[in-house]
Amino acid sequence: MSTTATTETKPAAPAIEKIKVKVDGREIEVPKLMPDWTGKLTPTTMIQACELAKTDVPHYCYHPKLPIAGNCRMCLVEFGTPALGPDRKPVLNPDGTAKIAKSPRPAIACATPISPGMEIYNNTPTVKQMREGVLEFLLINHPLDCPICDQAGECKLQEYSVDYGQSASRFAEAKVHKPKAVDLGPRIMLDDERCILCTRCVRFTRDVAGDDKLGIVNRGSYNTIAAYPGTQFDNNYTLNTVDICPVGALTSKDFRFQMRVWFLKETKSLCNSCGTGCNVLVSSREEKMYRYTPRENDAVNGPWMCDAGRLNYKWVGRADRLKDVLMRGAGQGGLVKTTWLTAINDISDKLKRAPAGSVAIVASARQTNEELYLLAKLKANLGALSDSVEHTGEADRLLVSADKNPNTNGARLNGICYTEIGSNLPQIAQGIQSGKIKTLIVFGEDVTTQGIGADLLAKLDTLIVSDILPNATTQLAHYVLPGAAHVEKRGSFTNTKGRVQKFMKAVEAPGDARAEWEFLHDLVHNVTGKNGYVTIEGLFNQMAAEVPGFAGLSWAGLGDTGVTVTI
Amino acid sequence: MIVDRRPLTFWEKLYLPAIVGGLKVTLKHAYSTLIQRKVVTMEYPEQKWTLPENYRGAPYLVKDQEGSTKCVSCQLCEFVCPPKAIRITPPGASGQKADRANAEKMPKEFEINMLRCIYCGFCQEVCPEEAIFLLKDYSITSTSREELVYNKEKLLALGGEHGGIQKWKHKLEEAKAQENFPVKV
């Protein structure tokens, strides 16, 4: 494994020629070519130039990761190009600057390429008037549904109405009514009245998801979005259409009428459903999670994520979560509630007295890099065997990885498991069988399903289990240490491509449950006698300094989008 | 900063003139109530003030002229409420549908903590459905704190009926009139 850390996944592209344009009178240099939605270099458009100039051009149908449709007309801007004389030479003003011939007609910024010396006017009275006109037409048939619309608060139509709308409608006729609350698919609800026909959903599902299911039917004012007759809009990426829908036409059934978006606290986190490690925002209110939404990271997931990962958050709030520190009483007693202090001290004493080689560790590749690092320290100190458990599923061509562990590479880099994950498990089982292994530490896995059955576990002197949800292993444990779900703690994962990404804490862990790295720190301190860092930043930086695979990284340096290490 | 007390004047030091002044007021009131029989107090629980038109009392939920809940659980009042007295539980996707056609949703639970409420009237002002009004109730009493958290049922019962334009109903009527045009998908 190489130790170089890079922030780029691809080699640096050859230098692209820069051209000068003016946006609202400010001159900026922009590259002549910029990546389009597929990443291919195409001539830079005016909307991209305006974005580089930090000028906001309102738009509905344009999306940087979708093919350009140019149908909403909201991004109309005025522009001018240097005037050319009959000799094809630029005409100059008396002061020596190039004379600008202003285009008599506006152009849509999303589909018009820039040219050298072009001037873009994004803020003129004409532009404002055009946008007001476009918005007025979009609102003609739009129902004033905001009080019952889930999009309210994150709706582009609302936002631009504030900027370019009028307080009263001039439309005196009856609005065209279209189907409401249409069941489009198992996860999507469609309200055709709210739709502004930007076709973002159509383009996404055709060009990105590759499931050409949506289209526009009927004509003129009666245009409606619909799924192909007789079919359901059902693929693993349908909920992305809810994210990109600029209005409340497509809404998520899971999030429908659950909470208004302005109450939600958004925390930068990661999806832990597979090895891809899609960047997400966790929306929560008062320790309750309401949804995941993808967070843009072009090195990992772009602006998308799969439906399965997005909806896989409800287990965090399950009522049967492990909330208490439990310890098996003397003799054949059952599990009784105890305190962290008692349990950690007890476990530390036992581990300190354990002869080398009598301890085995089964960690989980769902744990964070920092936790696996601490476990690796424990392993080194105890001379223990260690491994992790493989979870695999079906991959797809877009985002879903076959590896269902979010941090398999973190476990590998920390030396908890080897290239072939789970190869040590039979050895551990054998060790228990032969009586060599007397203590087993299990983190976040049900080992009874991995060849270490209840009969083997009964042979152990001490079984220390940390988990989030109860399972067959936690029931047999001598010590149960309740852990925290990844949204309840901070940490980092290393995805299948070696991207080290950090995530933040969104909600509190229930009851006595604690982040694993916190009590692992105490345990490592007690057993090894060496103090470590008590903050996640310090711990990560220490890991980066000691583990070659993470060399050169720092917690702060990970940023929001992570850093790629060589696997 | 320490402000020195103003020293007493000569007349104040005499003490008695102030006593006489006080007695004058007492005697004047004694004369007007005992001799002239003028009433200056009110026997409060039995008698009550006539409240001004714009008086802001406790906020209650109201029903429309057909007896349906007007609130659609948009949670704007919960958001705007300065003391966070309002707590709304949204219905969720599988929750109970609104009890009037076309409104799609209504709150599963709506609670106002009357101990927290400061009668500012922001909820009434922000409500897009005209579903919450500050009525003229001001003597809100109870023997426990829990009782003063009014739930949806209680708020609706206290709020009574307050007709309005019934926009959802009109929308539905308008939509029904267009039902057979164009050809249904």
Q: Which CATH number fits domain A142-317: 3.30.830.10, 3.30.70.20, 3.40.718.10, 3.40.50.720?
A: 3.30.70.20
- Residue B103 is nearest to which of A148, A175, A217, comparing CB atoms? A148
A466, A509 Cβ separation under 8 angstroms: no
Strand A385-387, strand A359-362: pairing = parallel
Residues B32, B87: one domain?
no
| 406-445 of A, contacting B, C-beta below 8 A | none
- Cβ A259–B175 below 8 Å, yes or no? no
Q: Is the minimum CB–CB distance between B92 and chain A shorter than 8 Å?
A: yes
Strand A491-494, strand A499-503: pairing = antiparallel
Residues B154, B100: one domain?
yes
Return the CATH number of the domain spanning residue range A325-565.
3.40.50.740
Residues of chain A positioned with their CB less than 8 A from the CB of B93: 189, 253-254, 256-258
Residue B128 corresponds to which amino acid?
P
Enclosing domain of residue B139 = 59-166
Q: What is the mean pLDDT of each run of 10 residues along chain A (567 residues)?
A: 45 78 94 92 95 95 95 95 91 90 94 94 94 94 91 94 91 90 93 94 95 92 91 94 96 94 96 95 95 95 94 93 89 83 94 90 94 94 91 93 94 90 90 92 92 89 94 93 96 95 96 94 92 91 94 94 91
- Cβ A146–B72 below 8 Å, yes or no? no
B116: domain CATH number is 3.30.70.3270
Q: Is the minimum CB–CB distance between B93 and chain A shorter than 8 Å?
A: yes
The answer, yes or no, to whether residue B185 has pLDDT greater than 80, is: no
Residues B104, B143: one domain?
yes
- Cβ B74–A260 below 8 Å, yes or no? yes
Residues B91, B142: one domain?
yes
Cα distances (angstroms) measured from residue B106 to each of A153, A216, A257, B157: 18, 31, 9, 16
**Of the candidates B141, B185, B135, B142, the residue with the CA atom closest to the CA atom of residue B160:** B135
Residues B101, B149: one domain?
yes
Q: Is the minimum CB–CB distance between B111 and chain A shorter than 8 Å?
A: no
A139, A157 Cβ separation under 8 angstroms: yes
Residues B25, B72: one domain?
no
Smallest CA–CA distance from A221 into chain B, residue: B182
Residues B66, B151: one domain?
yes
Residues B161, B98: one domain?
yes
Smallest CA–CA distance from A258 into chain B, residue: B92
Residues of chain A positioned with their CB less than 8 A from the CB of B178: 174, 176-177
The answer as to whether B117 is a domain residue is yes
Q: How far is A198 from chain B (nearest CA, A)?
A: 20
Calculated CA dihedral for residues B48, B50, B55, B58, nearest 10 degrees: 30
The rounded distance, in Å, linking the Cα atoms of A513 and A340 is 10
- Cβ B174–A174 below 8 Å, yes or no? yes
The answer as to whether B133 is a domain residue is yes
- Cβ A260–B79 below 8 Å, yes or no? yes
- Cβ B175–A177 below 8 Å, yes or no? yes
The angle that helices A369-382 and A516-528 make with each other, rounded to 10 degrees, is: 20
Residues of chain A positioned with their CB less than 8 A from the CB of B72: 147-148
Contacts of B6 (CB under 8 A, 6+ apart): none
Residues B33, B115: one domain?
no
Cα distances (angstroms) measured from residue A51 to each of A28, A175, A302, A563: 11, 36, 18, 25
The rounded distance, in Å, linking the Cα atoms of A477 and A455 is 13
Q: What does the pLDDT read at residue A1?
A: 39
Q: Which residues of B47-69 are buried (b: 16+ CB within 10 A; e: fewer)?
A: eeeeeeeeebbbbbbbbbeeebb
Q: Is the minimum CB–CB distance between A176 and chain B shorter than 8 Å?
A: yes
Number of folded domains that form chain B: 2
Residues B73, B112: one domain?
yes
Q: What does the pLDDT read at residue A11?
A: 57
- Cβ B178–A176 below 8 Å, yes or no? yes
Q: Is the minimum CB–CB distance between A256 and chain B shorter than 8 Å?
A: yes
Residues of chain B positioned with their CB less than 8 A from the CB of A228: none
The answer as to whether B1 is a domain residue is no
ipTM of the complex: 0.84
Smallest CA–CA distance from A227 into chain B, residue: B185
Q: Is the minimum CB–CB distance between B101 and chain A shorter than 8 Å?
A: no
The answer, yes or no, to whether residue B49 has pLDDT greater than 90, is: no
Residues of chain B positioned with their CB less than 8 A from the CB of A290: none
Residues B111, B138: one domain?
yes
- Cβ B128–A147 below 8 Å, yes or no? yes
- Cβ A262–B79 below 8 Å, yes or no? yes
Q: What does the pLDDT read at residue A239?
A: 96
- pLDDT, chain B, mean: 91
The answer as to whether B179 is a domain residue is no
**Domain spans of chain A?**
17-123, 142-317, 325-565
The rounded distance, in Å, linking the Cα atoms of A325 and A219 is 64
Q: What does the pLDDT read at residue A96?
A: 85
The answer as to whether B47 is a domain residue is no
Residues of chain B positioned with their CB less than 8 A from the CB of A262: 79
Residues B69, B31: one domain?
no
The answer, yes or no, to whether residue B183 has pLDDT greater than 70, is: no
The answer as to whether B18 is a domain residue is yes
The rounded distance, in Å, linking the Cα atoms of A539 and A375 is 13
- Cβ A218–B185 below 8 Å, yes or no? yes
Return the CATH number of the domain spanning residue range A17-123.
3.10.20.740
